[in-house]
Amino acid sequence: MNTISSLSAIHHLLTHCPRSVKKLIVFVPRENASSRVKEILELADDLGLAIDFQPTPKNRHTETFEPITAQIQPFQFTEWKPFLEGLSQKPTSALLALDHLQDPQNFGALCRTAEGLGWDGVIIPKDRSVTVSPGVYNASVGAVETIPVIQIVNLADALRKLKDAGFWIVGTSLGDKTQTLKQLPPLEKVVLVLGTELEGLSPLVAKTCDFLVQIPLKGKVQSLNVSATGAILMHALLSKS
């Protein structure tokens, strides 16, 4: 059974999508709980959610001790075809696509940023890719439940369908043929494609992109974590819409 332990994620789910939470398991007495935990318990009480109080474990003073875990429903991906049809009705839209990203912490962080910036969805391949796990819930502070996540069979094919629907595809690359964001034209409908940290975009996906961009760096470190790259580019691309 899927359980999550991030207090921020549990609070987010109870506030915005309580249907996804089955019950809470609490390892501290209510009267001894922190203000944050008490706030979560009050939300659960208001929702009529089951709360299972358990004895406080002996390792409660360690850094890994979590006062609450939440049992959650199985994650439901957003269906691709209805989602694509809905986007055709929007004059502006922004999507994030991840080309076989493997790390759940980066995936969760990217979902958190995309949701916080108001992007319309996150697309991931079905095979050889990270999926939605309890770790992703924790890293995204629950945002994975409040942004559409679409799992598709073939990313390059999905990008071509998005191009047919009026989207511009912007990928990241460190090659000589890249552009800066300032060189891009206005983009009312855009897909940002991020690759893996070690290999970047696959050749087929890179060929599908209309633009390849990179972030100019001035320090001695010449690469960024993929979640940091995504955050910078997602924010910057909003000004292009």
Task: State whether 68 and 88 are in the same domain.
Answer: no
- Crossing angle of the two packed helices 226-238 and 104-116, in degrees rounded to 10: 20
**96 and 207 share a domain?**
yes
Number of folded domains in the chain?
Answer: 2
Residues 54 and 153 in one domain: no
- Which of these, 102, 97, 96, lies nearest to 128 by C-alpha position? 102
- The domain spanning residue 15 has which CATH number? 3.30.1330.30
Question: In this structure, are 166 and 120 located in the same domain?
Answer: yes
Residues in the chain with pLDDT < 70?
A: 1, 59-64, 176, 198, 240-241
Q: Among 47, 72, 97, give the residue marking a domain's end.
A: 72
With both helix axes pointing from N to C terminus, report the angle between 80-87 and 155-164 in degrees, rounded to the nearest 10.
30
Largest Cα–Cα distance in the chain? 61
Q: What is the pLDDT of residue 60?
A: 61
Same domain membership, residue 112 and residue 93: yes
Asked if 84 and 40 sit in the same domain, the reply is: no
Same domain, 149 and 38: no
Residues 158 and 49 in one domain: no
Residue in 115, 208, 192, 114 with CA at minimum distance from that of residue 159: 208
Which pLDDT score is estimated for 241?
A: 63
Last-in-domain residue among 39, 72, 105? 72
Q: Are residues 126 and 30 in the same domain?
A: no
44 and 149 belong to one structural domain: no
Residues 180, 120 within the same domain: yes
Select from 72, 103, 120 the last residue of a domain: 72
Residue 118, domain CATH: 3.40.1280.10
Q: What is the domain extent for residue 54?
A: 3-72
Tokens 């209805």 sit on residue? 82
- What's residue 179's pLDDT? 83
pLDDT score at 61: 62
**Same domain for 131 and 50:** no
